[in-house]
Amino acid sequence: MSQEASPVAPAIPHFELATQWQLIKNDVESAIKEVLESQQYTSGAVSGPFIGRFEANLSKFLNAHAIALSSGTDAILAALMALGIKRGHEVITTPFTFFATAGCISRSGAKPVFIDIDPNTFLMNLAAIGPAVTRNTRAILPVHLFGQMMDTAALLEFADAHHLDVIEDAAQCIGAVDPKGKQVAENARCACLSFYPTKNLGAAGDAGALVTRDEKLATRFMQTRQHGEVTRYHHEFVGGNFRMDALQAAVLNAKLDYLPQWTERRRQIAAYYTRRFKGTDVKPPVEIAGSKHVYHQYVIRAPRRDHLRDHLTKQGIGCNIFYPKCLHLQQCFADLGYKKGQFPMAERATQEVLALPVYPELTDAQIERIATTVLAFYRR
């Protein structure tokens, strides 16, 4: 056996920010310096200069009122609180999502009601909503998972017929449009965004936003982020401290300009993978006709998923399972009484999905190596 080690290709992490930092360093450093020198660190029911600037630019980008908040989780909780959703109410959502979606419903006092997903898209199955509606249902909380929006017109039509609010969990889909070309908050009361550092638009820490086309609701959201304060020290309802830091707003404002080009690169990488995986054992994600998927995650269905994951890890390629456990089976929701096997499509997805690297800074050589390494596993 040769003693010479074969040259090991450098590892490709599932996600990294170091390459991006080189691109944005100057913009972000001067934005941060401006905040520090002004010492205008925060704002309340009325936005200060840095929050205001970011909100104005985000509003333009999304064609709706944007209210800067402390995190994506807080955006969901603030939306539920602002819309008066509380104990005794039910909110219908998906069990195949990040925990915050259902965690916030629970924290509002309402009961999360889960329905199964569409196995093609991993999105909430519209046809399953009807049977889940009861006298207590107040809202539907769809998740535009992995960066793809569900058909919001169909959802809104159903919601209107049943007098339900639609609150979109848009944490993963900034910049996406749905199959009929609609943006977030266009066919919903509001949409919740997250700027967690790994999201398509990431802050330097925690941040989020609420987006709505309803001006009155926008005002209510601003009050909600400042403890329900309507005029200084007069609280008409209970909100929270859901404010975004000015430092985060400045960072996000500097990065927002890059988002369209980053999104295009994500879509380009995804299109490349999908071409490579066509007709193989790997099932690429389905992009719904007409919709613009922004590929927060590129999630395949993979036979022998855990073995593929080990193979990629050994080859220095980062990958991740989103999500390994459905929310209806989480211990904290045991009292809701859901059983294993109740949502077979969502449960099956947890066994088969694997997210490959799709961040915009990946080079052509890297994505070529990733696709080739995945396919080589099935050819052995």
Ligand X SMILES: *Cc1c(COP(=O)(O)O)cnc(C)c1O
Query: Which residues of this chain interact with ligand X, rule CB under 6 A?
Result: 71-73, 97-98, 100-101, 143, 169, 171-172, 194, 196, 206, 208
Closest contact distance (angstroms) between CB of 310 and ligand X is 25
CB-wise, 196 or 338, nearer to ligand X? 196
Select from 358, 293, 261 the least CA-distant residue to 319.
Answer: 358
CB-wise, 78 or 164, nearer to ligand X? 78
The Cα–Cα gap between 200 and 187 comes to: 22
Cβ neighbours of residue 310 closer than 8 Å, sequence gap 6 or more:
none
CB-wise, 117 or 374, nearer to ligand X? 117
Closest contact distance (angstroms) between CB of 214 and ligand X is 22
Closest contact distance (angstroms) between CB of 256 and ligand X is 16
Closest contact distance (angstroms) between CB of 125 and ligand X is 17
CB-wise, 168 or 186, nearer to ligand X? 168
Longest dimension (CA), the chain: 79
For the chain, the helix, strand and coil percentages under 3-state DSSP, each to the nearest 5: 40, 15, 45
Neighbours of 175 (CB within 10 A): 22
177: helix, coil or strand?
strand
Closest contact distance (angstroms) between CB of 104 and ligand X is 8
CB-wise, 79 or 250, nearer to ligand X? 79
CB-wise, 77 or 269, nearer to ligand X? 77
Closest-by-Cβ residue to ligand X is: 72
Strands 90-93 and 111-114, sheet pairing: parallel
Select from 176, 221, 211, 207 the least CA-distant residue to 50.
Answer: 207
Q: Which two tokens stand for residue 67?
A: 């209210």
Closest contact distance (angstroms) between CB of 234 and ligand X is 29
The Cα–Cα gap between 158 and 376 comes to: 45
Closest contact distance (angstroms) between CB of 315 and ligand X is 27
Please, how many CA atoms are within 13 Å of residue 72, restricted to the half-sphere of its CB?
27
The Cα–Cα gap between 283 and 223 comes to: 46
Instruction: For residue 343, give the DSSP letter.
Output: S
CB-wise, 276 or 292, nearer to ligand X? 292
CB-wise, 72 or 179, nearer to ligand X? 72
Q: Which two tokens stand for residue 374?
A: 């995945």
Residue type (1 letter), 254: A
Closest contact distance (angstroms) between CB of 143 and ligand X is 5
Q: Which two tokens stand for residue 109?
A: 């006092």
